[in-house]
């Protein structure tokens, strides 16, 4: 799969990853759910007639195929001048995080590059096997042996290519579909269709898996559904926010706390306003952010008379007012609290997930929300 581009000034990486290696300058990480797949495969292959070495080779072979698939995306991306920040390996494939969103025609070729790599691998392996006269029927592949190892890897690559070409998010085929649809329809609508196809595919796949007791399919369907929903939301957010500076969506009327305030003062402010996170100031300088969670924690452990400066977070997300809102989205998702909008070291606004979703809602209804109290 080619991943959703999540650009941003800080560019947080996908969380929950373990280990890391570097290929052609691209960091490769493994999502912890990848271990589930290895366990699943290990349990499923117990009692096979293949040797341990052949088993290890088949796992390694497929794993390398998935990596090469991702490198295919990365190389075509580089051709268009888009760097790949990292490749994260998930159980149903890898995800390449690109440095910036690709334009539709770029997206089409970047998406197709992955499955093309798998088709090439299959073609080369089958060619080699044909030359050696070692082609066997598909029926024989159900029974893994040392003799049909190469053939299984070749066939696995065909499945990888086929699966990834399904025209639905979050598969590469879904991205290609979106890129093609974007020629005839608005990008919004193209995204909606590809995400809808992904959800439908996941639901039918999961349903069939349950009926046929094919639990591997249910497992895959689950990830496809999550991916389709996430992809759809992210792409929708991007199209709604692209080209709009942070300052247009930020809250400009907000409360701050002087660093000498007590937890009681902060709790009163929390009750009196709809604000949840409060910048803590030393004069005009921001020295921390008191989040609602930190405030609750301090109330429980330190009591009402403690100072906010002891409870606040000293590291907080900061955005520039002219940053593209589309680039702020992934940072906001990562931060979980509000972000401070600072211009020349001066606090000019807050960006919270609530006002961001309100902003997105207004945009969806076609309201420009231009300069509502903050332009």
**Which residues sit at the interface with Zn ion, rule CB under 5 A?**
1-2, 114, 172
- The least CB distance from residue 314 to Zn ion, in Å, is 40
Q: How far is the CB of 95 from Zn ion (least distance, A)?
A: 8
Q: What are phi and psi of 87, to 5 degrees?
A: -115, 125
Q: Does residue 213 have a cis bond before it (omega within 30 degrees)?
A: no
308/294 Cα distance (integer angstroms): 9
Our CB check for Zn ion shows the closer of 1 and 88 to be 1
Provide the minimum distance between the beta carbon of 87 and Zn ion in the complex, in angstroms, as a whole number. Answer: 10
39 contacts 209 by C-beta, under 8 angstroms? no
CB nearer Zn ion, residue 114 or residue 279: 114
Q: Which two tokens stand for residue 97?
A: 């995080």
CB nearer Zn ion, residue 114 or residue 330: 114
Determine how many CB atoms are found less than 10 A away from the CB of residue 132: 9
CB of 160 vs Zn ion, minimal distance in Å: 9
Torsion angle, alpha carbons of 304, 305, 308, 313, to 10: -60
Rank residues 85 and 352 by Cβ distance to Zn ion and give the closer one.
85
Q: Please identify, using beta-carbon distances, which residue of 2 and 295 lies nearer to Zn ion.
A: 2
CB of residue 1 vs Zn ion: minimum separation in angstroms?
4
Nearest to 126 by CA among 157, 91, 88, 164: 157
Residue of this chain nearest to Zn ion (CB atom): 114
Q: How far apart are CA 145 and CA 48, in angstroms?
A: 7
Q: CA–CA separation, 200 vs 214, rounded Å?
A: 18
The CA distance from 14 to 19, in Å, is: 13
DSSP 8-state code for residue 330: H
Element containing residue 290 per DSSP (H, E): strand 285-290
Q: How far is the CB of 177 from Zn ion (least distance, A)?
A: 14
When the beta carbons of 98 and 311 are compared against Zn ion, the nearer one is 98
Q: Pick the closer one to Zn ion by CB: 172 or 231.
A: 172
CA-CA distance, 266 to 71, in Å (whole number)? 50
Shortest separation between residue 164's beta carbon and Zn ion, angstroms: 5
């Amino acid at each position: 799969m080619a991943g959703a581009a999540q650009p941003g000034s800080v560019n947080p990486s996908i969380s929950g990853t373990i280990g890391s290696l570097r290929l052609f300058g691209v960091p490769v990480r493994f999502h912890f759910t990848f271990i589930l797949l290895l366990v699943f495969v290990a349990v499923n292959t117990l009692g096979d007639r293949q040797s341990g070495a052949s088993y290890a080779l088949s796992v390694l072979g497929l794993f390398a195929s998935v990596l090469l698939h991702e490198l295919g995306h990365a190389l075509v991306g580089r051709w268009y001048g888009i760097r790949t920040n990292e490749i994260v390996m998930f159980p149903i494939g890898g995800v390449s995080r690109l440095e910036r969103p690709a334009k539709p025609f770029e997206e089409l070729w970047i998406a197709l590059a992955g499955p093309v790599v798998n088709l090439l691998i299959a073609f080369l392996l089958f060619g080699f096997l044909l030359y050696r006269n070692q082609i066997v029927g598909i029926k024989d592949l159900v029974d893994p042996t040392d003799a049909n190892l190469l053939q299984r890897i070749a066939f696995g690559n065909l499945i990888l290519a086929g699966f990834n070409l399904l025209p639905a998010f979050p598969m590469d085929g879904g991205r290609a579909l979106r890129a093609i649809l974007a020629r005839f329809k608005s990008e919004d609508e193209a995204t909606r269709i590809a995400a809808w196809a992904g959800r439908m595919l996941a639901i039918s796949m999961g349903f069939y898996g349950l009926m046929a007791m094919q639990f591997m399919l249910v497992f895959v369907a689950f990830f496809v559904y999550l991916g389709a929903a996430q992809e759809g939301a992210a792409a929708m957010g991007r199209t709604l926010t692209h080209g709009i500076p942070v300052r247009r969506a930020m809250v400009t009327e907000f409360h701050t706390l002087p660093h000498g305030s007590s937890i009681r003062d902060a709790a009163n402010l929390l009750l009196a306003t709809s604000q949840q996170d409060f910048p803590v100031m030393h004069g005009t300088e921001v020295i921390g952010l008191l989040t609602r969670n930190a405030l609750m924690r301090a109330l429980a452990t330190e009591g009402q008379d403690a100072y906010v400066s002891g409870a606040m977070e000293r590291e907080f997300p900061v955005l520039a007012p002219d940053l593209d809102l589309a680039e702020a989205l992934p940072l906001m998702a990562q931060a979980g609290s509000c972000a401070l909008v600072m211009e020349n070291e001066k606090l000019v606004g807050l960006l919270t997930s609530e006002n961001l979703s309100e902003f997105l809602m207004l945009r969806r209804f076609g309201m420009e929300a231009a300069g509502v109290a903050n332009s």
